[in-house]
Structure 1
Amino acid sequence: MFKLIAIGFEGSANKLGIGIVEHTYEVDVLKNSDDTKIFEPIDIKVLSNVRDTYNPPPGQGFLPKDTAKHHRDCVIKVLKKAISDANVSVTEIDAVCYTKGPGMGAPLQSVAVVARTVAQLWKKPLIPVNHCVAHIEMGRAITGAIDPVVLYVSGGNTQVIAYSEKRIFGETLDIAIGNCLDRFARILMLSNDPSPGYNIEQMAKKGRNYIELPYSVKGMDVSFSGILSFIEQIVKKSKSLDDYSPEDLCFSLQETLFAMLVEITERAMAHVGSREVLIVGGVGCNERLQEMMEIMAKERNAKVFATDERFCIDNGIMIAQAGALAYAHGYQVPISESWVTQRYRTDQMLVKWRH
């Protein structure tokens, strides 16, 4: 038996997360890694998963400089707690993993600096991780999904992905669904605590009247900006809350956006013949989205996999998970090549650990 412990640093947006994971393999993967072998852990343990969120005032989004300052201010506190919760020593950690991208430049860079520093101080290998791939691998590890069609929905990304075809089937043509929901929450002056999308979800549960909104599916892609503009005009032109209640507006927006996502996900499932759907990303916590996907999946004799907010929302453990898999298959970079990039597509990372 061979154990591999990795620590992950996530800070691509307003959440700073540090997590530690332990993999157990049947063989010493670091001595046996090559391009022809696939090594899969026989056991995965989440040792710690600590997160701190930057929440701006209602009606405001989070600016890169303010978010980066938040990450710098609390990263040492979060790091100490992650190590304490995991009950491991620095010498037991085998690899330091960090988010390379995609994300906001300043927050990404502020956390990457810490990861580089830690890797040099502890004399550990450094592994850059694709944020999107990390979401998928965390979802697979927690739910047990084997080879699902993945709906990845978050504040910065909206994609339908299938590894069996090694491709992105569809994605947003403009803004991500999480960004759409966040911006509508600002229009309604909803609180950012614990998150704008969560507060919209709670209001939508009280909505009863559906207001017809534009439905923008273009092949396998979706577009959200026009829908946001349309519903914003409804709010501005309403003479009073009696015209359109905030609850009905939230309900209508959710139903429309989620129906679009279910449609393109089902089309991808039909193309690859899959009977598994995995929902990942922060918006994947939404119970109504999961419910609508369940209805579609049941009609196709398929199964939906989803996680709760511990693993759906950006976190450090997902970076540690994907980084540990990459490191087990021989991947690491020197400090001189440990840059970050705001644009790092899901299909740009070589995934060597999947069949």
Structure 2
Amino acid sequence: MVIAIGFEGSANKIGVGVIKDGTVLSNPRRTYITPPGQGFMPSDTAKHHQQHVLEILSLALEQANVTPDDIDVVCFTKGPGMGAPLVSVAIVARTVAQLWKKPLIGVNHCIGHIEMGRQVTGSKNPTVLYVSGGNTQVIAYSEKKYRIFGETIDIAVGNCLDRFARVLKLSNDPSPGYNIEQMAKRGKKYLELPYTVKGMDVSFSGLLSFIEDRAIELIESGKYTPEDLCFSLQETVFAMLTEITERAMAHTGSDEVLIVGGVGCNERLQEMMKIMAEERGATVFSTDDRYCIDNGAMIAQAGMEMFKSGQITKWEDTFCTQRYRTDEVDVTWRS
């Protein structure tokens, strides 16, 4: 029996989760929300995490009904992510590991999402679509690594949606992507947008520039409503993601798709992926916002798997890195 505590703070969420052999005992988090039309700056986000991390840590232990003595391993997000928020949370993880005299494990953020998704949904060997504010990748496991079959060559899909939400001055509460999703449900008229799939990779920056430059003019002229533009943007980017996911499934012979990351909560993306999967006789797995949005439990889950397979992060390697590739990690816990 292993009890792991995980610290996540790679973007605008600060979370601490406690996992006991794959069962979530607690998973509190706080989100840094900026005014409409604004993104979140690394320094301000780090201050937010510093203000809330000890409160969240106490809450996680209290809700899980465990003491530091019960914890077997401390896990934290090593990367990828925003430098200042990552470091502010890693310092706390390093400190409690020393105070509690526990081993410390640095976890790849993406692998946290994958292992949490696999644990919650029960998917065995899925093709993974990882979509979030900072990452867009199609991934499958092979020979002790999570291999990247396709990815964005510029910005992530979540960043694309968030930046368009700023153009429309949508609220960042609970998240800009969620508010775009709700508006898109009311959209009826489709605006054709640049569709950029290059082999197994996707590009969103040109599409975003195209709709950003025209949005205000199209709305003011009455040709399109903000809802229509949100609908058009979603349909286009999700079609691109569905295409490259299907291509990866064909290549690997996979009959499972697992959608992880914050954008994975989007019901329209799940619906489009389900249509594609049903045509192939495959199954789609996804989680709700408790686990697809950044959280501490996913870091604890991946860290627990690493710990049980004999991985411990050397003290001199417990630094953070904004560039930490999914395929850099040795997946010692899967056969």
Q: TM-score, normalised by structure 2?
A: 0.98
Structure 1 outlier segments of 4+, above 2 Å: 236-239, 333-337
Assess if the C-alpha contact under 8 Å between 2:306 and 2:333 holds in 1. Answer: yes
Report sequence identity in percent: 70
Match of 2:316 among 327, 336, 340: 336
Report the equivalent of 2:104: 126
* SS across alignment from 1:163: strand
Match of 1:258 among 212, 220, 238: 238
Q: Distance in 1 between matches of 2:70 and 2:148?
A: 37
Report the equivalent of 1:11: 9
Q: Distance in 2 between matches of 1:122 and 1:311?
A: 27
Q: Distance in 1 between matches of 2:33 and 2:153?
A: 27
Match of 1:21 among 12, 19, 22: 19
Residue pairs, 1:103-182, within 5 angstroms: 103-164=81-142, 166=145, 167-182=147-162
Aligned length: 333
Q: Distance in 1 between matches of 2:136 and 2:7?
A: 22
Q: TM-score, normalised by structure 1?
A: 0.93
Q: Distance in 1 between matches of 2:309 and 2:123?
A: 21
Deviation at residue 244 of structure 1 after TM alignment: 1.6
Report the equivalent of 1:304: 284
* SS across alignment from 2:187: coil
Deviation at residue 237 of structure 1 after TM alignment: 2.9
Q: Distance in 1 between matches of 2:320 and 2:9?
A: 11
Is 1:200 the equivalent of 2:180? yes
Assess if the C-alpha contact under 8 Å between 2:3 and 2:19 holds in 1. Answer: yes
Q: Distance in 1 between matches of 2:313 and 2:275?
A: 44
* SS across alignment from 1:162: strand
Q: Distance in 2 between matches of 1:148 and 1:264?
A: 14
Report the equivalent of 1:349: 329
Deviation at residue 336 of structure 1 after TM alignment: 2.8
Report the equivalent of 1:31: none
Q: Distance in 2 between matches of 1:65 and 1:273?
A: 44
Assess if the C-alpha contact under 8 Å between 1:147 and 1:164 holds in 2. Answer: no
Is 1:62 the equivalent of 2:62? no
Query: After superposition, what is the alpha-carbon deviation per residue over 1:92-124, rounded to whole angstroms, capped at 9, x for unaligned?
Result: 000000000000000000000000000001010
Assess if the C-alpha contact under 8 Å between 1:150 and 1:160 holds in 2. Answer: yes
Deviation at residue 90 of structure 1 after TM alignment: 0.9
Query: After superposition, what is the alpha-carbon deviation per residue over 1:49-98, rounded to whole angstroms, capped at 9, x for unaligned?
Result: 01100001000000000000000001011000000000011100000000
Is 1:225 the equivalent of 2:205? yes
- Opposite residue 32 of structure 2, the aligned amino acid is Y
